[in-house]
Chains A and B, each alone.
Chain A
Amino acid sequence: MTAHATGSAHEVPEFTAEGADWSDVVEEAARLGAQRIVVNMGPQHPSTHGVLRVMLEIEGELITEARAGVGYLHTGIEKNMEWRTWSQGPTFCTRMDYLSSMFQETVFCLGVEKLLGVTDDVPARASVLRILMMELNRISSHLVSLGAGGNELGATTIMTTAFLAREDALRIIEAISGLRMNNAYIRPGGVAVDAPEAIIDEIRAFDGKMKAKIGELSDLMLKNPFFLSRTKGIANLNLSGCMTLGITGPLLRSAGLPYDVRKATPYCGYETYDFQVPVSDDADAFSRTVLRIEEVYESLKIISQCADRLEAEPGPVMIADKKIAWPAQLTLGPDGQGNSLEHIRTIMGTSMEALIHHFKLVTQGFRVPAGQVWQTVEAPRGELGVHLVSDGGTKPYRAHFRDPSFNNLQALSLLCEGGQLADVVVALASLDPVLGGVDR
Chain B
Amino acid sequence: MSAEKGLSAPDPGARPPLTLLPVRKGMGSGTTSGYGGLVRRATMPGPSSRPYGEWFDGVVDVLEELLGKHATTAIEAVVVDQGELTLVIARDSIVEVCRHLRDDQDLRFELSLGVSGVHYPADTGRELHAVYHLTSITHDRRLRLEVAVPDADPHIPSTTSVYPANNWHERETYDFFGIVFDDHPSLARIAMPDDWIGHPQRKDYPLGGIPVEYKGGTVPPPDERRQSR
Q: Which residues of A contact B (CB under 8 A)?
A: 19-21, 70-71, 74, 76, 78-80, 82-84, 114-115, 117, 243-248, 257, 259, 264-265, 363-365, 370-374, 376, 383, 385, 387, 389, 391-395, 397-398, 400, 402, 406-407, 409-410, 439-440
Contact = CB atoms under 8 A, between A and B. Distances in A.
Contacts of A392: 21, 40, 42
A440 B190 CA distance: 12
Given A394-B228, A397-B21, A402 B164 contact: no
B21 A406 contact: no
A371 B114 contact: no
B188 interface: yes
Given A79-B207, A83-B207, A392-B42, A370 B192 contact: no
A74 B118 contact: no
B38 interface: no
Given A243-B111, A391-B21, A407-B165, A398 B223 contact: no
Nearest to A400: B116
B164 to A, nearest CB: 5
B223 A372 contact: no
Contact of B82 (A20, A74, A114, A439): A114
A409 B188 CA distance: 16
Interface residues of B, number: 51
A374 B85 CA distance: 10
Given A83-B207, A264-B137, A20 B229 contact: no
A372 B167 CA distance: 24
B191 interface: yes
A244 B164 contact: yes
Interface string B15-51: 0000001101000000000000000101111000000
Given A372-B44, A394-B229, A71 B137 contact: no
A214 B196 CA distance: 46
Contacts of A245: 164-165
Given A370-B43, A374-B142, A80 B207 contact: yes
Q: Which 9 A-B pairs have the closest CB atoms?
A: A246-B165, A392-B42, A400-B116, A20-B194, A74-B191, A393-B229, A71-B191, A391-B21, A370-B42
B144 interface: yes
Contacts of A387: 116, 131, 133
Interface string B115-149: 01111000000000001010101001010100000
A396 to B, nearest CB: 11
A288 B110 CA distance: 23
B114 A246 contact: yes
A285 B1 CA distance: 52
Interface in B177-209: 188-194, 200-201, 207
B112 interface: yes
Nearest to B24: A393
A385 B113 contact: yes
B192 A71 contact: yes
A76 B200 contact: yes
B225 to A, nearest CB: 8
Contacts of A243: 110-111
Nearest to B45: A371
10 contacts: A70-B190, A71-B192, A76-B207, A265-B140, A363-B228, A385-B133, A394-B228, A395-B229, A402-B113, A407-B169
Nearest to A373: B82
